[in-house]
Amino acid sequence: MTPRTVHIAAYDTLADWECGHAIAHLRSGSYFRPAQEAYEVVTVAATTDRPVTTMGGQRIVPDLALAALRPEDSAMLILPGAQLWNSGEELAPFARKAGEFLDAGVPVAAICGATAGLAREGLLNDRPHTSGAAQYLAAQPGYQGGDHYREADAVRVFGLITAGPTEPVAFAREIFGQLQVMEPRVLEAWYRLFAYSDAASFPVLMAAGKAGDEDGPV
């Protein structure tokens, strides 16, 4: 049976805005296909001995230590950006864990600074990807994937999702697409509403909404 748990990495200086759309909808099940259940969202940190503090000052008490995370127990690993991705190798174990997931055929979604971590680990050298800027990745030691860089809001290929820091909605769109939680028409409507405030998409979401969604998108 496919796991119904999505794991999201948690570390100090995590960029609060980058994964909110994705994890909120995965956990609530809003606008999912009728037969789809919501996912459990589990936070993973280097250790569970202490909370982590995000860039915005929120304190997160981790559910699971990174060493205990196994690809076979997960539907996806999400790696948010963080200032720490740009200041040494403290978060390198998370990039190595992403490599384990990809080797096991379990999807990985990385945004902003996390793409730099994957680049340093060599995970972008032969996979199409994007980030905040091509120059940002080109400056990372071990990165040789320039020919596979795409100028796009988000890229999803072979179970790897990447995006830059300005694209949390597109990032969520590709996560939902990878997990196939929404009908294509509903996913497009969701994206257009949250990315462009497209009022014409509102009725599509209302028709797809489950109990509890009657008051509209949140």
Q: Which residues pair with 160 in a beta bridge?
A: 108, 157
As a whole number of angstroms, the distance between CA 142 and CA 140 comes to: 6
Asked, for residue 202, whether it belongs to a domain, the answer is: no
Q: Which of 119, 118, 110, 123 has its CA nearest to residue 168?
A: 110
Over 60: is that where the pLDDT of 211 sits? no
Question: Which one-letter amino acid corresponds to residue 36?
Answer: Q
Q: Which domain holds residue 83?
A: 5-182
Domain count within the chain: 1
CATH code, domain with 56: 3.40.50.880
Using a 10 angstrom Cβ sphere, with 0-12 exposed, 13-18 middle and 19 or more buried, the burial of residue 141 is exposed
Over 70: is that where the pLDDT of 119 sits? yes
Mean residue pLDDT of the chain comes to 95
pLDDT tens profile 59-84: 999 999 999 999 999 999 999 999 99
Q: Looking at residue 196, what is its pLDDT?
A: 98
Q: Give the pLDDT mean for 89-105.
A: 98
Over 90: is that where the pLDDT of 215 sits? no
Asked, for residue 216, whether it belongs to a domain, the answer is: no
Collapsed DSSP state (helix, strand, coil) of residue 27: helix
Asked, for residue 210, whether it belongs to a domain, the answer is: no
pLDDT tens profile 123-152: 999 999 999 999 999 999 999 999 999 999
Residues 6+ apart with CB under 8 A from 39: 4, 5, 6, 26, 27, 29, 75, 179
> What is the pairing mode between strands 160-163 and 154-157?
antiparallel
Asked, for residue 189, whether it belongs to a domain, the answer is: no
Asked, for residue 96, whether it belongs to a domain, the answer is: yes
Q: Looking at residue 135, what is its pLDDT?
A: 98
Over 50: is that where the pLDDT of 214 sits? no
Q: Which of 113, 102, 110 has its CA nearest to residue 74?
A: 102
**Which pTM value belongs to this model?**
0.95
pLDDT tens profile 24-43: 999 999 999 998 899 999 99
Share of residues in the chain with pLDDT > 70 (%): 95
**What DSSP line would sit under 77-125, residue for residue?**
EEE--BGGGGSSSTTHHHHHHHHHHHHTT--EEEETHHHHHHHHTTTTT
Q: Looking at residue 216, what is its pLDDT?
A: 62
Q: Looking at residue 212, what is its pLDDT?
A: 42
Asked, for residue 218, whether it belongs to a domain, the answer is: no
Asked, for residue 45, whether it belongs to a domain, the answer is: yes
Over 80: is that where the pLDDT of 179 sits? yes
Residue 168 · residue 19 · CB < 8 Å:
yes
CA atoms within 13 A on the CB side of 61: 0
The set of catalytic residues is 112
Asked, for residue 188, whether it belongs to a domain, the answer is: no
